[in-house]
Amino acid sequence: METESEPYVRLASLRQLHQVMADMNTARSLADTLQTVADGVVTALGYELACVNLVRPDGDLVVAAFSGNPAAEALITGRVGSRESWERRLAWARPGAT
Residue pair 67/38 in contact by the 8 Å Cβ criterion: yes
Q: What is the pLDDT of residues 21-62, one digit of tens each?
A: 887 788 789 999 999 999 988 988 888 999 999 999 999 999
Instruction: Answer whether 23's CB lies under 8 Å from 44's CB.
Output: no
Q: pLDDT tens, 11-32?
A: 777 787 778 788 778 878 999 9
Nearest to 24 by CA among 36, 14, 8: 36
Non-local CB neighbours of 39 within 8 Å, separated by 6+ positions = 20, 23, 50, 67
Q: How much is the pLDDT for 89?
A: 83
Whether residue 98 is predicted with pLDDT greater than 60 in this model: the reply is no
Of 52, 15, 57, 60, nearest to 36 by C-alpha is 52
**At residue 4, does pLDDT exceed 60?**
no
Domains and CATH numbers, the chain: 2-93 (3.30.450.40)
What was the pLDDT predicted at 57?
95
